[in-house]
Structure 1
Amino acid sequence: MNITVNQKGSSNVAIIESDEVVIGSVQDALDLMATIQYNHDGCYKLLLHKSAIAESFFDLSTKLAGDILQKFTNYKVNLAIVGDFSGYGSKSLKDFIYESNHGKQFFFLPDEQAALAALHNVR
């Protein structure tokens, strides 16, 4: 796993790159947030590629997405997930992504530039 920080003004976004699944459980999400905070103090915005998240996250019936995003909410950490989500047929997931993208904490976007723009605009 490689972590770099993209800075724009006073906004810092941790970009996590990995060839492996980084978040496969609630504990993985907590560990990732702790790692970012320990190594990059004051960085409460994370950008993660879809491939670094377990596929079960995108099956809303597992409740993994809700449980993980609740932890991000509790710790006031913003998250952008980058990737192609068009291959998922679930209407519930599409609605979930749509609603998330119209909020201010979680984003499901097609590329890093869009994700960085969204995260840097969050206050």
Structure 2
Amino acid sequence: MPDVLQDRAGVPVLVCDPAGPPVATAQDALDLIGAAFAGAEAVAVPATRLSADFFALGSRVAGDVMQKFVNYRLRLVVVGDIAGHLAASAALRALVHESNRADHVWFVPDLDALDARLRAGRSGASTGG
């Protein structure tokens, strides 16, 4: 399947093909951002498309990629199981925790979790039962 623009919980999201090209550089991020200009507010990238360097924070790939999305005011969502990477790096665990507390970059296990997060964001600060 190619990367496709989908409505997910009322938000236009570019859902990237797991078999698509790897995201290993800031230029790769810009390529996704360019594709998202068709109307997406977020880009959901399978964790399997991210290079191993993305998860090795010392390489600075994650910072470079994430910064491009922030600069273009586009949410980056990393979708998939990254437990192995998290187990290997306290710094990555901290980054994921802090990212998930904010609104620019999220790490979610699957698209259902993304939908739930988007729905929660639409309900705003109201937390009535």
TM-score band, normalised by shorter chain:
0.7 to 0.9
What is the identity, as a one-letter code, of the residue corresponding to 1:46?
V
Length, aligned pairs only: 120
Alignment match, 1:26: 26
TM-score, normalisation: structure 1: 0.86
What is the identity, as a one-letter code, of the residue corresponding to 1:110?
P
Equivalent-residue separation in structure 1 for 2:20 and 2:44 (angstroms): 15
Contact 1:78 1:119 survives alignment (8 Å): no
Alignment match, 1:94: 93
1:79 is matched with which residue: 73, 76, 80? 76
Is there any run of 5+ residues in structure 2 with no aligned partner, and where? 125-129
Query: Where is the strand percentage greater, Structure 1 or Structure 2?
Result: 1
SS of aligned partner of 1:69: helix
- Name the CA shift for 1:17/1:68 in 2 (closer, same or farther; >3 Å): same
What per-residue deviation string (whole Å, max 9, x for no partner) do you get for residues 40-80 of structure 1?
2x212111110111110000000110111111110001011
What is the identity, as a one-letter code, of the residue corresponding to 2:106?
F
Q: Which has the larger radius of gyration?
A: 2
SS of aligned partner of 2:103: coil
Equivalent-residue separation in structure 2 for 1:21 and 1:29 (angstroms): 11
Is there any run of 5+ residues in structure 1 with no aligned partner, and where? none
Percent identical pairs in the alignment equals: 30
Q: Following TM superposition, where does structure 1 have runs of at least 4 consecutive aligned residues deviating by more than 3 angstroms?
A: none
SS of aligned partner of 1:2: coil
Contact 2:47 2:80 survives alignment (8 Å): yes
Structure 1, 82-91 or 70-79: larger mean CA deviation: 82-91
Contact 2:4 2:15 survives alignment (8 Å): yes
Alignment match, 1:52: 49
TM-score, normalisation: structure 2: 0.83
